[in-house]
């Protein structure tokens, strides 16, 4: 981050809470556009949604609503769902808050949570061992840089152990995950680019409201469902934006 400041860049675009926090800490005079950082108000990155204050703005999220929606989708796919393993980066405050919102949503739905926070790549093996020891009905993975980098391990483990999965981004479903529900990633990129352009034209980050995603995607990999021996309800398949066959 010191190198970016020394390079005298005009703007910094970040992904994830740790990167956003580092930029805000070390580049106080450089405008920052944050994405994928969870809820910037709850994590203290900004003062408020309408007027962020300081040098950071960006695209926020609706973590509580989205967590509940993912669990509802799992419940529709698996009517007997009782226990969900949740994988998330426990060192990332933004993802911790997202996990807690998912945990709250699970309790509302009467679903027990198997909490599996990871901090480094080696922790995934420990998480897999816990899942094997106390088998859940499904896996929900919270997406950030650490979990995304290890996504193929999660997909392969779930396939080998015949466990349904739901993710936050559609790309993992294309790689073999069962389902995903979340903001359309291209829209987030477009909104972040628009915010950056407005700042470069003279707008102040402190006065640019945080933007929220407006388009969401629900993906199902039917090949994965068939490999797991799952017969997904036709009504669920009909709701999907894309069914991969």
| R_g (Cα) of the chain, nearest Å | 19
Quick check: 220 and 232 in contact, CB under 8 A? yes
**pLDDT over threshold 90, residue 60:** no
Alpha-carbon span 128 to 161, nearest angstrom: 10
Task: Tokens for 134, please give them.
Answer: 């106390």
**pLDDT over threshold 80, residue 136:** yes
**pLDDT over threshold 60, residue 234:** yes
| pLDDT of the residue at 7 | 65
63-183+217-244 CATH, one of 3.40.50.880, 3.30.559.10, 3.90.1150.10, 3.40.50.2300: 3.40.50.2300
Alpha-carbon span 28 to 155, nearest angstrom: 39
CATH 3.30.70.980 fits 2-60+184-214, yes or no: no
Quick check: 230 and 77 in contact, CB under 8 A? yes
Quick check: 114 and 140 in contact, CB under 8 A? no
User: What is the location of CATH 3.40.50.2300 in the chain?
Assistant: 2-60+184-214, 63-183+217-244
Alpha-carbon span 219 to 179, nearest angstrom: 5
**pLDDT over threshold 70, residue 165:** yes
pLDDT by residue (tens digit) across 180-198?
Answer: 999 998 999 999 999 999 9
* Sequence-ordered list of residues with C-beta below 8 angstroms from that of 67, at least 6 positions apart, any chain: 98, 101, 102, 104, 105
Work out the number of other CB atoms within 10 angstroms of the CB of residue 216: 15
Alpha-carbon span 235 to 214, nearest angstrom: 23
Residue with tokens 């973590």: 63
């Amino acid at each position: 981050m010191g190198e970016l400041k020394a390079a005298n860049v005009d703007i910094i675009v970040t992904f994830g809470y740790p990167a956003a926090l580092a930029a805000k800490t070390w580049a106080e005079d450089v405008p920052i556009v944050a994405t994928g950082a969870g809820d910037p108000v709850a994590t203290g990155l900004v003062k408020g949604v309408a007027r962020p204050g300081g040098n950071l703005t960006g695209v926020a999220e609706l973590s509580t609503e989205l967590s509940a929606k993912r669990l509802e989708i799992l419940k529709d796919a698996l009517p007997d769902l009782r226990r969900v393993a949740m994988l998330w980066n426990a060192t990332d405050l933004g993802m911790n808050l997202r996990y807690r919102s998912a945990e709250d949503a699970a309790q509302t739905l009467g679903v027990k949570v198997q909490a599996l926070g990871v901090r480094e790549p080696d922790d995934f093996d420990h998480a897999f061992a816990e899942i094997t020891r106390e088998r859940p009905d499904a896996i929900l993975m919270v997406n950030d840089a650490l979990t995304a980098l290890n996504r193929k391990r999660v997909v392969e483990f779930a396939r080998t152990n015949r466990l349904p999965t739901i993710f936050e981004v559609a790309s993992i479903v294309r790689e073999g995950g069962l389902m995903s529900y979340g903001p359309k990633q291209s829209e987030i990129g477009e909104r972040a680019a628009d915010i950056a352009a407005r700042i470069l034209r003279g707008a102040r980050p402190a006065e640019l409201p945080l933007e929220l995603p407006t388009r969401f995607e629900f993906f199902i990999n039917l090949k994965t469902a068939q490999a797991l021996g799952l017969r997904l309800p036709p009504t669920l398949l009909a709701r999907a934006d894309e069914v991969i066959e």
